[in-house]
Amino acid sequence: MPLVTSAAASGKEYDVIVVGSGAAGGQTAYTLAMEGAKVLMLEAGRNYVPEQETPMFQTRGEAPLRGTSTPDKPFGFHDATVDGGWQVPGEPYVNTSQEESGRFDWWRSRMLGGRTNHWGRYSFRNGPYDFKPRARDGLGFDWPLSYEELAPYYDKVEMLIGVYGANDGLENTPNSPTGCLLPPPKPRVSDLLIAQRARKLGMPVVAGHRAVLTQMLDFKNTPAKLHPGNPEAQRIIAEHMKSRAACFWATPCSRGCSIRATYQSTTVHLPPALATGKLDILVNAMVREVTLGRNGLASGVSYVDKGTGKPSHAAARVVVLAASSCETVRILLNSKSAQFAHGLANSSGKVGRYLMDTVGSTVEGQIPLLESLPPHNEDGASGGHMYAPWWLYKEQLAGKLGFARGYHVEFGGGRSMPGLSTAAGLEWLTGGSYGRRFKEDARRYYGSFVYFDGRGEMIPNEHSWCEIDPDVKDRWGIPVLRFHWRWSEHETRQAAHMQNTFAQLIEAMGGRVKGEVLTDGAKAIAAGGSIIHEVGGALMGTDAKESVTNRWGQTWDVGNLFITDGAVFPSNADKNPTLTIMALAWRAADRILELMRRKEL
Amino acid sequence: MSEPLRVDRRTAFKWVLAAWAAMPLQRRAFAAEAASAPSGYGTDPDLTKIYQSGELWPLTLTEAQRRTAAALCDVIIPADAESPSASAVGVVDFLDEWISAPYPEQQKDRKVLLAGLAWLDAEAKGRFGTDFAALDEPQKTAICDDICYVPRAKPQFAEAAGFFATYRDLTAGGFYTTPAGTRDLKYVGNVPLPRFDGPPPEVLRKVGVGPAPT
């Protein structure tokens, strides 16, 4: 990517500074630059070029330690993440509790494009209930906007990034208009077996939605829908769409994609935005705070140039925070002034409050029907081809389940690229075989395992939040976050429900559960932060006393300061947050453009 | 489903929690420094490079230990009509790389494996008067039968059985990630395809799920 230096950036005038380059920053900068605003993007990590750096066909045998997870590379050696993980060297954070149930572990990726380079690519729309959850069951918060208001932006994002899926007309699981979704990939054999047996349990199994191109994007018709009345933007995005190949059904998406067949900010948002000539990107720029002018408006950001270690400043008419929910909160709380002694845009005292992750729980099983199948290529689109949306809305509303919100099920199985775990831990099936019999067992059981991952909604609560630690600073001298975390019974009961459901499903497939079914929800639930769907901390709302931003992500206190990442989410539906982050970011960017045109910014 | 995030998520998290639990309060904040051992490959290695055993950190095993290690590898994965033995495709090099790595999981396995290999030779000498590698097949089997399955191992073999389970997992992991091991399992992916057709009809018939919807 063409980059600017700190010195060059400080000498230029920008309309908007965008802090962060992932799903939120990428989408914000894309929309603004394509529509003519001059944008400076700051990224705390290094430049990253997926077309050159992605290990596409490397086998596990070619990686150190066969590619296993290590503290340096928590998702394995070939995972796209650079300088990231739940611990980042030199960038600590603090938890007030030592207990697993009271901790929040914070994933960061210090690289251009952030977490979008390695994410699972699951891309679901929130449904109508998800925007008004309190109205439905009296818990949590309603969004200050409805599904109908965000729907046109979901349409645009799906058309821009490319999402496969189907319209199934299921409750609270919106269809997309014609022309938005790409055809889903054919199911794998395990998908078909799961769908067949899930039907008996009343679970719908339908095409998954993931940001992978199953065919090339429609570069003839889509550009005009994305950028009406803007021929230059249409030309640029049409050219860019032609540069993205369709999936060639090989290599794991988590490594990133050098042929640009999946969405990552670095291959989808940033190249066309740069092609406008309106976007400058400054990497290795660790933002410390938003600076405030005498007029009470944001004047820019101060940051540490990690190359030189020098404190620097960049100025613009508008500042957008898209640094990831917790990093955005951290920047706000570290931006103290006489006017905002408790952090910028925090007159409500709500900055840092209502941090959420996704409820996760997993069960694996071994399915005799899938043993010793004729060899065939099951790589497909790497992630799930199908999934099960939440299906017990009526039972839940009637109070029959003991927890208030739903979950969806991501699953998989099959003959994936052999790894360290492929023939490990088979004793429960083999009775400890070794020698020629072990080799036969390995062949027999290879591809016969399935897993079910529940992904459920967490309701925001008063006990899950973050603040600035009074003592600890990172290596740049910037005060760090201190986390407080607690699940409610809505989450732990939901996790237990996942375990029971998945065990029933495995049984319905004629299989055996691997390990123990965790009926104690507190044990079944994945630790806070481990699903890496961090949202909340600077909620949008209708009341300046109770929320941090309005329905556009514009902070109540500072008119030219916007938040476009997950921090503004008033709830965390079971639907993975990335698509909604992008839809909100596009909408916020449109608002910024409109206010700039009206000279209100 | 290569490299599904969920598999690594648990492994990864296990490490995070273990590291934190072991740390006093004041030091937790600086876990990042402590966690990133200087001799690992770091948080920004070249992902496109092909790595050889011994390239990133010095190896451990002596010639004598390698002989024992190779003998045990081949008891677990011997040559057959489908594929060569584990030691023939470099699995001992992999095991040596593994136990020599500066990371916590590997350091834990290092203790288990070095002690286990020493136990194996001592047991072979005690029973048959020679090193494990020099035993004939029935003699090797006699020892391994006692330690191949933790739930059935007699109390005096409990620790050795734990070693064997770890060793079998690592040997299998090392073997099936080589080209020969991958061929043995008849994994036919990791090649670009013009389209994805889903499972062939004989697979659908065998599982009883009918033709895939188009």
Which residues in A lie closer than 8 A to residue B94 (C-beta atoms)? 66
Count other Cβ atoms within 10 Å, centred on residue A122.
22
Confidence of residue A11 (pLDDT cuts 50, 70, 90): confident
CB contact under 8 A, A85 and B186: no
Average pLDDT over residues A473-486: 98
Q: Spell out the alpha helix ranges (H) of B22-103.
A: 25-28, 31-35, 63-76, 91-100
Residues present in chain A in total: 601
pLDDT (mean) for A275-299: 97
pLDDT surpassing 80 at residue A72: yes
Q: How confident is the model at residue A10 (pLDDT cuts 50, 70, 90)?
A: confident
- pTM given for the model: 0.95
Residue B38 lies in a domain: no
Residues from chain B contacting residue A84 (CB–CB below 8 Å): 43
Asked whether residue B69 is domain-assigned, the answer is yes
Write the pLDDT tens digit of every residue in B73-127: 999 999 999 999 999 999 999 999 999 999 999 999 999 999 999 999 999 999 9
* Element housing A511 (H / E): none
Angstroms from B64 CA to nearest CA on chain A: 22
Is A79 close to B152, i.e. CB distance below 8 A? no
pLDDT of residue B11: 57
Asked if the Cβ–Cβ distance from A375 to B186 is below 8 Å, we say yes
Beta pairing, strands A285-292 & A298-305: antiparallel
User: CB–CB of A61 and B178 under 8 A?
Assistant: yes
Length of chain B: 214
Which of A6-10, A566-570, B68-72, B137-141 shows the lowest per-residue confidence on average (mean pLDDT)?
A6-10
For A184-211, write each residue's pLDDT tens digit: 999 999 999 999 999 999 999 999 999 9
Chain A residue numbers with beta carbons less than 8 Å from the beta carbon of B207 are: 189, 192-193, 369-370, 373
Residues 61-120 of B with CB under 8 A from A: 75-78, 80, 82-83, 94, 97-98, 101, 103-106
For chain A, say whether B178 makes contact (Cβ under 8 Å). Answer: yes
Q: What are the chain B neighbours of A87 within 8 Å (beta carbons)?
A: 16, 19, 31-32, 35-36
How far is A291 from chain B, CA to nearest CA, in Å? 27
Of the partner residues A46, A60, A250, the one whose CB lies closest to the CB of residue B193: A250
- Indicate whether this complex's ipTM tops 0.90: yes
Residue A335: which pLDDT band, with cuts at 50, 70 and 90?
very high
| A426 to chain B: closest CA residue | B169
A449: nearest Cα among A363, A367, A361: A367
| Percent of chain B clearing pLDDT 90 (strictly above) | 79
In a domain, B2, yes or no: no
Mean pLDDT for the stretch of residues A47-52? 97
Whether B109 is covered by a domain: the verdict is yes
> Cα distance from B12 to chain A (closest Cα, Å)?
5
Whether residues A72 and B42 touch (CB distance < 8 A) is answered with yes
In a domain, B3, yes or no: no
- Say if residues A489 and A355 touch (Cβ distance below 8 Å): no
In the prediction, which pLDDT does A378 show? 97
Q: How many CB pairs under 8 A join A and B?
A: 333
> Is A376 close to B203, i.e. CB distance below 8 A?
yes
Q: Tell me if A193 and B209 make a contact (CB, 8 A cut-off).
A: yes
Pairing of strands A535-537, A512-513: unpaired
To the nearest whole Å, the CA of A92 is away from the closest chain B CA by: 5
Q: What is the mean pLDDT of residues A573-585?
A: 98
Which residue on chain B is closest to A415 by alpha carbon?
B187
DSSP B87-130: GGGTHHHHHHHHHHSSSHHHHHHHHHHHHHHHHHHHHHHHHHSS
Chain centroid, CA B192 distance in Å: 28
For A222-231, what is the mean pLDDT?
A: 98
Confirm or reject contact between B181 and chain A (CB < 8 A): yes
Could you report the per-residue pLDDT of A496-510, keeping only the tens digit for each? 999 999 999 999 999
Residue B39 within a domain: no
CA distance B69 to A597: 73
How far apart are alpha carbons A580 and A262 in whole angstroms? 17
**Residue numbers of the domain that contains B110:** 62-73+83-188
Q: Which residue, among A263, A260, A219, A14, has the nearest Cα to A114 in the 3D structure? A: A263
Sign of CA dihedral A168, A173, A178, A179: negative
Tally the domains of chain B. Answer: 1
Query: What average pLDDT does the segment A314-331 reach?
Result: 98
Cβ neighbourhood burial of B25 (10 Å; 0-12, 13-18, 19+): exposed
Instruction: Tell me how far CA of residue B44 lies from CA of A48, A127, A265, A520, B97, in angstroms.
Output: 11, 39, 19, 39, 20
Tell me the per-residue pLDDT of B142-196, one tens digit each, with 9 for 90 and over. 999 999 999 999 999 999 999 999 999 999 999 999 999 999 999 999 999 999 9
Average pLDDT, integer, range A558-578: 98
- A394, burial (CB in 10 Å: exposed 0-12, middle 13-18, buried 19+): exposed
From chain B, the residues in CB contact with A374 under 8 A are: 200, 202-203, 206
Chain A CB contacts of B74 under 8 Å are none
In angstroms, the separation between the Cα of residue B67 and the nearest Cα of chain A is 18
Residues of A in contact with B175 (CB under 8 A): 423
pLDDT of amino acid B26? 41
pLDDT of residue B22: 46
Structural contact between residues B34 and B23, judged by C-beta atoms closer than 8 angstroms: yes
In this complex, the residue of A71, A423, A451 whose CB is nearest that of residue B15 is A71
Q: How far apart are CA B147 and CA A412, in angstroms?
A: 34
Q: What single letter denotes the amino acid at residue A596?
A: M
The answer to which of A385-389, A435-439, B210-214 has the lowest mean pLDDT is B210-214
Among the listed residues A41, A45, A81, A506, the one whose alpha carbon sits nearest the alpha carbon of residue A274: A41
- Residue B38 pLDDT greater than 90, yes or no: no
Domain assignment present for B199: no
pLDDT score, position A9: 87
Distance, in angstroms, between A129 CA and closest chain B CA? 28
Of the pLDDT bands very low, low, confident and very high (cuts 50, 70, 90), residue B14 is low
- Nearest CB neighbour to A434, from listed B8, B75, B197: B75
Residue B27 resides in a domain: no
